[in-house]
Chains A and B, each alone.
Chain A
Amino acid sequence: MKGLVLAAAGVTALAAASLFVGVSDVTVGALLGGMSDEATQVMLVSRIPRTLALLLAGSGMAVSGLILQMLARNRFVEPSTAGTAESAVFGMLMVTLLAPGTPMLGRMLVAGACALAGTALFLGILRRMPLRSPLVVPLVGIMLGAVITASTEFVAYRFDMMQSVRAWETGDFSGVLRGRYELLWIGAALTAVAYAAADRFTVAGLGEDFTTNLGLNHRRVVSLGLVIVSLVTAAVIATCGMIPFLGLVVPNLVSLTRGDNMRRSLPWVALSGAGLVLACDIAGRLVIRPYEIPIGTTMGIVGSAIFLYLLLRKNAHAG
């Protein structure tokens, strides 16, 4: 509990820092003095929404990764290694092409439905592979994602939408403004649902037989998890684009010290996810001021480096 409080304090500090880092200078003095309307405006319109978006997207994606890992019973699965994120992008493209007037919420729901279908397909393929090594599971997911991406890009290419697809594929919070991030609150609500159902997901992580033995409907638990993961992923992609490997590395790092009892580890995963995304975004804003490095790129480096560490470390002792 004490550790959690400390972690929460750390994330709060990062969030505070995020409020004051950016192109236009906003200082605490200027805000408090009420001197500058401009500073207040920047705060309200850009900085606060951006920071909130980072918090919500980071925790949501990390928790989604955790849930997927429980459902697929595999350490290396997360929305971008299970076809989820790629399917959501496909959905975004389709709804943008076929029904351009759809409001954001509608787009997100369509993307979520596609993500659901894609992830269910992934889990279906896994079920057909009775003897699977733990490492082949993310491989299948990544390749399924590549196939879906290829179809997305083919359509996008035909209709000159590559620009938008690229935007969905690479996470970037620089465009987050008031009125353009609120979908993420849906993600937050779903994360709360995930916490309420944490025990069910842990049981599902023990396997289908265990789940049935304990009197739970495995199919129903999986469906609930898939819906949460798909909608959170869709909300994040619709708002700020894909954040690679976040849902993979955070639960893994938490699991090393805290284990996988989701009731206990979920708060840690949510906090660490938010913290990592905040840190990456702040770094991206600082390195080449006044320009920015999008979070897709920074997380790509940090995430894949940690992923590699996890893979090679696993190999070192698990064999």
Chain B
Amino acid sequence: MIEVRNARKSYGETVVVDDVSITVPAGGVISLIGANGAGKSTLLSIISRLLPAPAGTVMVEGMDVTTTPGDVLARRLSILRQDNQMTARLTVRDLIAFGRYPHSKGRPTVEDRGHVERVIRYLELEAVAHRFLDELSGGQRQRAFIAMVLCQDTRYILLDEPLNNLDVKHAVAMMKLFRRTADAFGKTIILVLHDINFASCYSDRIVAMRDGRIAFEGPPEEIITPAVIREVYGVEAAIQEIDGKRVALYFR
């Protein structure tokens, strides 16, 4: 369980995360949606202790993220931000293997190697595993980064716009993988998503943010409605139900 209490963060005059409190139960896929600048990424960074919040507390399974030793937390929670620029020339396999660092501290065991190979297989990266990151396409690189985080094998996985740079095929495969990982291994996966239809089709819960606050929270049926979308994005959308999933049409 992740509990955020009264988190607040501002840049200068602008309050980005405004007194947010939220409880995320363990297990399942949770999507964070909201317009640009609503505070989604900042909230994710605060939860994952990448960004120290000046006010409020974040507890992950009862551990305060600001005081828990980094390596303990790294075995419980992993985070991937968007826009990961890399100057180091690493092979895909090396990068993914670093996901095991919190567990083996750079001395990989047989079990660690097994993890690495399994993740490479899951993400269909076998063909490029030996290549350097700077030789890959944006989509392949993004999948390698996600692979590293998955390889970390933590109970909580936080991903900021993981579908960036992915084509439709890979985006769908990625969401399915998240779904499977959550269902089969009981992981908690928190995603920041821009595509509300992906959020609708694959999430257990959706958290919608607006102006640094949590505006709505609930299962997709409650969130993917014209009223909520109008509130959150300021856009008119028609909602259709296709194969039992709610899909928003907002292209008009």
Contact flag (A, B; Cβ within 8 A) = yes
**A209-B79, A213-B149, A215-B72 are contacts. A259–B106 as well, Cβ < 8 Å?**
no
Tell me whether A261 and B94 are in contact (CB under 8 A).
Answer: yes
Closest to B48 in A: A213
**Residues of B contacting A214 in the complex (Cβ-Cβ under 8 angstroms):** 74, 98-99, 101-102, 152
Tell me whether A207 and B101 are in contact (CB under 8 A).
Answer: no
Q: Which residue in B72, B78, B86, B91 is a CB contact (below 8 Å) of A206?
A: B86
**Residues of B contacting A206 in the complex (Cβ-Cβ under 8 angstroms):** 86, 88, 90, 95, 98
Q: Which residue in A205, A215, A263 is a CB contact (below 8 Å) of B75?
A: A215
CB distance from B150 to the nearest CB of A (A): 12
Q: Complex: how many Å from CA A227 to CA B139? A: 38
**Residues of A contacting B101 in the complex (Cβ-Cβ under 8 angstroms):** 199, 203, 214-216
**A199-B101, A199-B106, A213-B48 are contacts. A259–B90 as well, Cβ < 8 Å?**
yes
**A206-B98, A259-B132, A263-B106 are contacts. A213–B87 as well, Cβ < 8 Å?**
no
Q: Complex: how many Å from CA A261 to CA B98? A: 10
CB distance from A205 to the nearest CB of B (A): 4
CB distance from A195 to the nearest CB of B (A): 11
Residue A212 interfacial (CB < 8 Å): yes
**Residues of B contacting A73 in the complex (Cβ-Cβ under 8 angstroms):** 87-88
Q: Which residue in B50, B70, B71, B91 is a CB contact (below 8 Å) of A209?
A: B50
| Residues of chain B at interface, number, CB under 8 A | 33
Closest to A258 in B: B89
Residue A202 interfacial (CB < 8 Å): yes
CB distance from A67 to the nearest CB of B (A): 12
CB distance from A207 to the nearest CB of B (A): 7
CB distance from A181 to the nearest CB of B (A): 33
**Residues of A contacting B72 in the complex (Cβ-Cβ under 8 angstroms):** 215
| Residues of chain A at interface, number, CB under 8 A | 28
Q: Complex: how many Å from CA A213 to CA B89? A: 20
Tell me whether A212 and B70 are in contact (CB under 8 A).
Answer: yes
Tell me whether B71 and A213 are in contact (CB under 8 A).
Answer: no
**Residues of B contacting A69 in the complex (Cβ-Cβ under 8 angstroms):** 87
**Residues of A contacting B98 in the complex (Cβ-Cβ under 8 angstroms):** 199, 202-203, 206, 210, 214
**Residues of A contacting B149 in the complex (Cβ-Cβ under 8 angstroms):** 213
Q: Complex: how many Å from CA A50 to CA B75? A: 49
**Residues of A contacting B50 in the complex (Cβ-Cβ under 8 angstroms):** 208-209, 212-213
Q: Complex: how many Å from CA A203 to CA B78? A: 15
Residue B49 interfacial (CB < 8 Å): yes
Q: Complex: how many Å from CA A215 to CA B70? A: 4
Tell me whether B102 and A215 are in contact (CB under 8 A).
Answer: yes
Closest to A215 in B: B74
Residue B191 interfacial (CB < 8 Å): no
**Most chain B CB neighbours (cut-off 10 Å) among A209, A213, A217, A255:** A213
CB distance from B223 to the nearest CB of A (A): 28
CB distance from B190 to the nearest CB of A (A): 14
**Residues of B contacting A217 in the complex (Cβ-Cβ under 8 angstroms):** 70
| Interface set, chain A 250-278, CB cutoff 8 A to B | 255, 259-261, 263
Residue B80 interfacial (CB < 8 Å): yes
Residue A111 interfacial (CB < 8 Å): no
Q: Complex: how many Å from CA A105 to CA B70? A: 36
Residue B155 interfacial (CB < 8 Å): no
CB distance from B189 to the nearest CB of A (A): 15
**Residues of B contacting A208 in the complex (Cβ-Cβ under 8 angstroms):** 50
Closest to B79 in A: A213
**Residues of B contacting A207 in the complex (Cβ-Cβ under 8 angstroms):** 84-86
Q: Complex: how many Å from CA A69 to CA B49? A: 25
Residue A70 interfacial (CB < 8 Å): yes
| Interface set, chain B 62-86, CB cutoff 8 A to A | 69-75, 78-81, 84-86
Residue A10 interfacial (CB < 8 Å): no
Residue B169 interfacial (CB < 8 Å): no
**A215-B73, A216-B70 are contacts. A259–B94 as well, Cβ < 8 Å?**
yes
| Interface set, chain A 66-117, CB cutoff 8 A to B | 69-70, 73-75
Tell me whether B90 and A212 are in contact (CB under 8 A).
Answer: no
Tell me whether A202 and B87 are in contact (CB under 8 A).
Answer: no
A-B contacts, 30 of them at CB < 8 A, read A70-B88, A75-B87, A134-B87, A198-B106, A199-B101, A199-B106, A202-B90, A202-B98, A206-B98, A207-B84, A207-B86, A208-B50, A209-B84, A210-B84, A212-B48, A212-B49, A213-B50, A213-B79, A214-B74, A214-B99, A214-B102, A214-B152, A215-B72, A215-B74, A215-B101, A216-B70, A216-B71, A259-B89, A259-B94, A261-B90
Query: Could you list 5 further interchain pairs (A-B, Cβ under 8 angstroms) beyond the known A199-B98, A212-B70?
Result: A73-B87, A134-B87, A215-B70, A215-B72, A263-B106
**10 residue pairs, one from A and one from B, having the closest CB atoms:** A215-B74, A199-B106, A215-B71, A205-B88, A260-B88, A215-B70, A215-B102, A260-B89, A261-B94, A259-B89
